[in-house]
Structure 1
Amino acid sequence: MTGQAALFSQDGPTREVGTSIELFTGGGGLALAMHKAGFRHLVAVELDKRACETLRQNKAEKFGASDEQGTTLQSKWPLKEGDVKKVDFTPWSGEVDVVAGGVPCQPWSLGGAHKGYDDERNLWPELFRTIRETKPRAIIAENVKGLLRPSFAPYYEYILNELRAPFERRVEGEDWRDHAKRLEKALAKDSIDPTERYDVQYKLVNAADYGVPQVRWRVFVVAFRRDLGLSGWKFPEPTHSEGALLRAQADGSYWDEHKVPKRYRYSPIIPDGFDDGDGTERWRTLRDALAGDSATGELKLPEPIGDKVDHPKHLHHYGWPGAREYPGHTPNLLDRPAKTVKAGVHGVPGGETVLKRDDGSIRYMTVREVARVMSFPDEWFLAGPRGEQMRQLGNAVPVKLAAVMARSVAEALRSGSRAERG
């Protein structure tokens, strides 16, 4: 095997590719993707008690539980449960390849209060502090599309510049606007230690374009330490497309694959000039997610056997009563990618967790079905009652999307290491 094939098998990494620190770990989507890409977690940090319970039930253990933590790729993830602001990362200085985290989205979310930089939950400064204390070779950060709103544009450029020059730290009492001016002046200088500068790329991506059965727009920010010479790195190209899905539905191959009765089939109207997705795989639909994947051993999810009744063969697969459809609250369609999974505080608006069957009837999606839409493995246990499980999923990074990014970063770091060795 060569290249990517040598690093990754169907079940995950064949060997370690580097080390990582996981910030704002939540229910584990990005951390699991980094693990699958071959990164060994030195420490994971999370404040929420339910999310920490989820992590411990799966791949984590309390930090300090043993003297041999995080020593191999198969080790339990060392988990620090608590406020990231109180964590000292200096013990890992010089040992970290990647700092990764889905920075909490509430300050920037279109569904939130839109406080942005004035929100106490704005934790970008903690990401920058972690970078200063560890000097990682790369950074992967994920956030919501709302971060790109025009009203936040000046602050977003400030975030990117602080990531480019994290050691030009903001001093106590300094307004972020004054700091932004200092950063611009510092970045204009050429005679700076390249180990204290980062080359930064960012991109708005749709998870559906990378094989996730969900339309989910997110901003990824990737940075490499300048001394590695990786300024030319580019984000992975989309592998899936809506055009390919429409083409497969129009020619009947999609319906044949799923053995959909003819009375439920339809031929979509494809507008003139529409990108037909030539060369890409088709978007994966909700029907695809429920059907499973024989290539990976993922089983078909049957209809739930009853409300609040666990399915004997499928974890978290139980029905829930009260699904409704009305204007502004429309269900997911089986033959499209699911809507964006959200983390509603008082229930989820918009019908994101309602499913419409072939016969037109509706029901709530099960927790396991939503986890499938987020591309979590079926054995991934989610702690807490249904509302808490859904909240963790809505806050997570889709595992498959994050793994695409993580593997691309892993390959870049390997090429950087080869260049360093000459």
Structure 2
Amino acid sequence: MVRANELRYSSVEICAGAGGQAVGLHQAGFKHVALIEIDKDACQTLRANTSEEAEWAGCRVIQADLRAFDSKELGLQPGELDLLAGGVPCPPFSSAGKQLGRDDERDLFPTMLDLVDQLEPKAVMIENVRGLVDPKFADYRAEIIKRLESLGYEQCYWEVLEAKRYGVPQLRPRAILVAMKPEYAKYFEHAKPEPAREVSVGEALHDTMRERFDAVADDPRAEKAFKDWYEKALEGVAPTLVGGSKKHGGADLGPTRAKRSWADLGVCGLGVANDPEDMKDKERDLFAAAGPKLTVRQAGIIQGFPEEWNFTGRKTAAYRQVGNAFPPPVARAVGEQIYAAFEAAAQAAKGK
């Protein structure tokens, strides 16, 4: 996993999920003190990827309901933490739901702000769906900013960042709030992070799809099916991956409109494929009329995860972790802005 900076600043993340934001912030140079998540499968994924890695040494994975979590468990003194980050639950603000906002019992903004009050980090980063910046939530956003200001923070920006502008082969707009203590905020670059080159689905998945079709090379259809997929997949980025709800059935790649978009890219969205070593039905996984289905690993690549990041649990549970994730490259881009502000403040302090 390539990092942009030395691991110099500390971070605690809430609602860590499968680690998308954690990966991006790690790449930006943040050393995680703790990753807090309620879902047991996601916690297992976090442990599986961090427990044996020297660069993640000291990172605790804590399975907890944030509303019942005691910040004293972190062992941090107020003001000691550099960054408190997290992606509070999206359904209260998602256009796909009822958009109940503060009236939704899943809204954890108040809990997040209470943690800010208790931990007094130097910076705060919160991500959510684009729906949060809709006009109907203007008053709620104003309340959040007012609370942060009362705690001694300045809003650096609250912007919608489109994942495809940061090298993620997917349409995935996210609303990102960054606030910092004034002594750091004055060094923050308030413009959106610099965009990266757009990456198509074909570019992103070429090697893993080639590997899957090579596993059935004895089938005379394999080479043509691969070429047909690749030609279509070079045409653009993917629609938004969705994780779905545990209350509903198995995993697929989204609603009808999204499935049509996937079909245009040569991918069948009616389910998730098994990995090559576990494939039981090549007709289902590779030779569906719309094209091959994606494996969990490939869905992770579409989200911008490193290929070596492993998602644990049964296929549906693993896919839901991927579908609900925050793309690491977007987290990295914002993290690098926060890191640069810390560095500038440190250099200014040395010059005094």
Alignment TM-score, normalising by the size of structure 2: 0.79
Q: 1:50 aligns with which of 37, 41, 57?
A: 41
Matched, 1:372 2:277: no
Secondary structure of residue in 1 paired with 2:210? coil
Deviations 1:21-74 (A, max 9, x none): 11110000001111111111111110011111111111149xxxxxxxx9x844
Q: 1:229 to 1:159 in 2, by over 3 A?
A: closer
CA contact (8 A) 2:305 2:328 kept: yes
- C-alpha separation in 2, matches of 1:159 and 1:60: 35
The 8 Å contact of residues 188 and 338 in structure 2, kept in 1 or not, is answered as: no
Change (3 A) 1:77 1:229: closer
Compute the displacement of 1:147 (Å): 0.7
For residues 14 and 223 of structure 1, do their structure 2 counterparts lie closer, same or farther at Cα, with a shift above 3 Å needed?
closer
The alignment-based identity, stated in percent, is: 30
Kindly state the Cα deviation for residue 352 of structure 1 after the two structures are TM-superposed. 4.1
> CA offsets, 1:121-167, max 9 Å, x none?
1001121111111111111111001112222221122122222223x
Report the more deviating stretch, 88-97 or 45-54.
Answer: 88-97
d(CA) in 2 for partners of 1:29, 1:229 = 25
Contact 1:38/1:73 (CA < 8 Å) preserved in 2?
no
Q: CA deviation at 1:285?
A: 0.8
Residue 199 of structure 2 corresponds to 284
Which residue identity is paired with 1:101?
G
Structure with bigger gyration radius: 1
Give the structure 1 partner of residue 112 of structure 2: 127
Kindly indicate whether the alpha-carbon contact (under 8 Å) linking 1:26 and 1:396 is maintained by their aligned counterparts in 2.
Answer: yes
Q: Does 1:197 align with 2:115?
A: no
Whole-angstrom distance in 2 between the partners of 1:408 and 1:87:
29
> Counterpart amino acid of 1:350?
T
Q: Give the alignment partner of residue 140 of structure 1, picking from 113, 122, 125.
A: 125
Query: Is contact 1:228–1:420 with CA below 8 Å preserved after alignment?
Result: no
Please tell me the residue identity of whatever aligns with 1:82: A
Paired AA for residue 208 in structure 1 = K
Task: Describe the SS at the equivalent of 1:15.
Answer: coil
214, 220, 233: which one aligns with 2:189: 233
Q: Which residue number corresponds to residue 396 of structure 1?
A: 325
Partner of 2:242, secondary structure, is coil
Change (3 A) 1:28 1:229: closer
Q: State how far apart, in whole Å, the 1-side matches of 2:58 and 2:311 are.
A: 17
User: In 2, Cα distance between the equivalents of 1:109 and 1:31?
Assistant: 22
Which whole-Å deviations, capped at 9, do the CAs of 1:311-341 have from their partners, x for residues lacking one?
Answer: 79xxxxxxxxxxxxxxxxxxx9541111111
Matching of residues 295-314 of structure 1 within 5 Å = 299-302=207-210, 304=212
Identify the residue that residue 103 of structure 1 maps to in structure 2.
Answer: 88
Give the structure with the higher percent helix. 2
Structure 2: how far apart are the matches of 1:217 and 1:156?
18
Q: Please give the secondary structure, in 2, of the residue aligned with 1:365.
A: coil
Unmatched 5+ residue regions in structure 1?
1-9, 62-69, 167-195, 241-280, 292-298, 313-331
Q: Summarize the Cα distance change of 1:221–1:410 in structure 2 as closer, same or farther, 3 Å threshold.
A: same
1:100 counterpart SS class: strand
Query: Residue 13 of structure 1: CA displacement?
Result: 4.6
Supply the distance in 2 between the matched residues of 1:340 and 1:303 (Cα, whole angstroms).
24
Q: How far 1:199 moved relative to its partner? A: 3.3
Matched to 2:63, the amino acid is E
CA, structure 1 residues 76+378, in 2 after alignment: closer, same or farther (shift >3 Å)? farther
Are residues 415 and 94 of structure 1, via their aligned partners in 2, closer, same or farther at CA, if it must alter by over 3 Å? same
Mapped to 1, the partners of 2:135 and 2:184 lie a distance apart of: 33
- Whole-Å Cα distance in 1 between the matches of residues 140 and 307 of structure 2? 39
Could you give the per-residue CA deviations for residues 221-279 of structure 1, whole angstroms, max 9, x where no partner exists?
A: 11110133526531444424xxxxxxxxxxxxxxxxxxxxxxxxxxxxxxxxxxxxxxx
Total equivalences in the alignment: 304
**Residue 14 to residue 237, structure 1, CA distance change in 2 (3 Å):** closer
2:180 paired residue number: 224
Q: Using CA pairs below 8 Å that are at least 6 residues apart, which structure has the higher relative contact order?
A: 2
Q: TM-score, normalised by structure 1?
A: 0.66
Q: Determine the C-alpha separation between the residues in 2 that align with 1:288 and 1:224.
A: 37
Question: Separation in 2 of the partners of 1:142 and 1:210?
Answer: 16
**Once superposed, what is the RMSD of the aligned Cα atoms?**
2.7
